[in-house]
A and B are shown apart, each in its own frame.
Chain A
Amino acid sequence: MAVDHFARAMDDNEGYPMRLTVDGQSFDIDADPEMPLLWALRDLIGKTGPKFGCGIAACGACTVHVDGQPVRSCSLPVGHATGAITTIEGIGTPGKLHPVQQAWLEEQVAQCGYCQAGQIMSAVALLDEVADPTDADIDNAMGGNLCRCGTYPKIRAAIKKAAVLKTARL
Chain B
Amino acid sequence: MTKLLIILTSVATLLSAALFATAQESQTPAPMAVDTAKGLPEWDKIYAVFSHPRCADCHVADDRPRWSGAHYGGTRVHAFNIQRGADGSGFGNPGLRCTTCHFASNSSALHGPPGAENWHLAPTEMVWFGKSSAEICAQIKDRNRNGDRSLEDVALHVRDDKLVAWGWAPGADREPAPGSAEATYQAIENWMAAGAPCPLTQ
Residues of A within 8 A of B (CB): 34, 55-58, 63, 69-72, 75-77, 80, 122-123, 125-126, 128-130, 137, 139-144
Assess the A143–B107 pair: CB atoms within 8 A: no
CB of B4 closer than 8 Å to a CB of A: no
Q: Give the docked Cα–Cα distance between A80 and B113 (Å).
A: 15
B99 within 8 A of A: yes
Q: List 16 A-B contacts (CB under 8 A).
A: A55-B112, A56-B107, A57-B100, A57-B101, A63-B100, A70-B97, A75-B101, A75-B107, A122-B95, A126-B94, A137-B86, A137-B94, A139-B81, A140-B96, A141-B95, A142-B95
> Cβ of B103 < 8 Å from any Cβ of A?
yes
Q: Are A71 and B99 in contact (CB under 8 A)?
A: yes
A56–B83 touching, CB < 8 Å: no
Partner of B113, one of A70, A75, A130, A141: A75
Report the Cα distance A76→B109, complex, angstroms. Answer: 11
Judge whether B94 and A143 touch: CB under 8 Å: no
Alpha-carbon distance between A76 and B83 when the two chains are bound, in angstroms: 21
Contacts of A34 in B (CB 8 A): 108
Residues of A within 8 Å of B99, CB to CB, are 69, 71
Given A56-B107, A80-B103, A144-B101, CB of A70 within 8 Å of CB of B81: no
Distance from B87 Cβ to chain A, minimum over Cβ atoms (Å): 10
Q: How many residues of chain B get a CB closer than 8 Å to chain A's CBs?
A: 24
- Is B103 a contact of A77 with CB atoms below 8 Å? yes
Count, A-B residue pairs, CB within 8 A = 84
Complex Cα distance A47/B80, Å?
A: 26
Are B95 and A80 in contact, CB atoms less than 8 angstroms apart? Answer: no
Residues of B within 8 A of A80 (CB): 103-105
Instruction: Establish whether residues A71 and B100, one from each chain, have CB atoms under 8 Å apart when the complex forms.
Output: yes
- Chain B residues with CB under 8 Å of chain A are 79-83, 86, 93-97, 99-101, 103-105, 107-113
Instruction: Give the residues in chain A near B101, CB-CB below 8 Å.
Output: 57, 71-72, 75, 144
- Specify which chain B residues have a CB less than 8 angstroms from the CB of A58 in the assembled complex: 79-80, 111
Q: Is the interface of B mostly helix, strand, loop or mixed?
A: loop
Q: Is the CB of B105 within 8 A of A143?
A: no
Cα(A58)–Cα(B109), bound, Å: 12
In whole angstroms, how far apart are the Cα atoms of A122 and B83 in the complex? 16
Residues of A within 8 A of B105 (CB): 77, 80
Q: List A contacts of B80 (CB < 8 A).
A: 58, 143-144
A128 to B94, CA, bound (A): 9
B26 to chain A, nearest CB (A): 55
Task: Given contacts A57-B107, A58-B79, list 15 more A-B pairs with CB under 8 A.
Answer: A56-B111, A63-B100, A72-B100, A75-B109, A77-B105, A80-B104, A122-B95, A122-B96, A137-B94, A141-B93, A142-B95, A143-B80, A143-B81, A144-B82, A144-B96
**Which residues of chain A are within 8 angstroms of B112 by Cβ–Cβ distance?**
55-57, 75
Contact of B100 among A69, A123, A139 (CB under 8 A): A69
Contact between A140 and B95, CB atoms less than 8 A apart: yes
Task: Give the distance to chain B from A28, nearest Cβ to Cβ, in Å.
Answer: 23
B52 nearest CB across to chain A (Å): 23
- Shortest A52–chain B CB gap in Å is 12
How far apart sit A90 and B97, CA to CA, in the bound complex (Å)? Answer: 22
